[in-house]
Amino acid sequence: MKWFDAIVDVWFYLGLVMVGVSTLMFVIAFLRYARKKMSDGFMLIWFVISIIVLVLGIVLIVNGYSSGLVVAVLSTVCALLLILIFVVSSMVSELMMKVRELAMQVALLNQENDSMLQQINKLKESEKDA
């Protein structure tokens, strides 16, 4: 029964890691959102994912799990994929915000260009009249 206690301990620690990762994921997502480096939609998605991981971690801490190494490996792979997805979605969100800002700047520059062209045309017309 010694191996069973070791498996229960592994699941307990895996649950603690999942709770820690979900808390860290939520805090980092919130801070990136607060610094305008993540959009609302991605923030909401990461909030939901962190809540799901938190609940799963708490379930592992309370109940443990008795099927062995396969679930531990799958959990580790899923955690690594979540980290990868988080990094990619953060980069995409930041780029989307930069594109939006650039589009606004281009619109302002076009408006300024149009007003300058109108002023130039008025000056040309006034020179012709004179």
Nearest partner of 45 among 90, 77, 96, 81, judged by Cα? 90
pTM comes to 0.56
The answer to whether 55 and 22 have CB atoms below 8 angstroms apart is no
Is the confidence at residue 45, as pLDDT, over 90? Answer: no
42-50: long-range contacts (C-beta < 8 A, 24 or more apart)?
42/89, 42/90, 42/92, 42/93, 45/89, 46/86, 46/89, 49/25, 49/82, 50/22, 50/23, 50/25, 50/26
Is the confidence at residue 70, as pLDDT, over 60? Answer: no
Is the confidence at residue 56, as pLDDT, over 90? Answer: no
List the domain boundaries for the chain: 2-129
pLDDT for 82 equals: 80
Q: If you average pLDDT over residues 13-36, what whole number do you get? A: 89
The model's pLDDT over 72-115, given as tens digits with 9 standing for 90+, comes to 656 776 777 788 788 788 888 888 889 999 999 999 999 999 99
Q: If you average pLDDT over residues 7-33, what whole number do you get? A: 84
User: Which spans in 35-68 are helix H?
Assistant: 40-63
pLDDT for 108 equals: 95
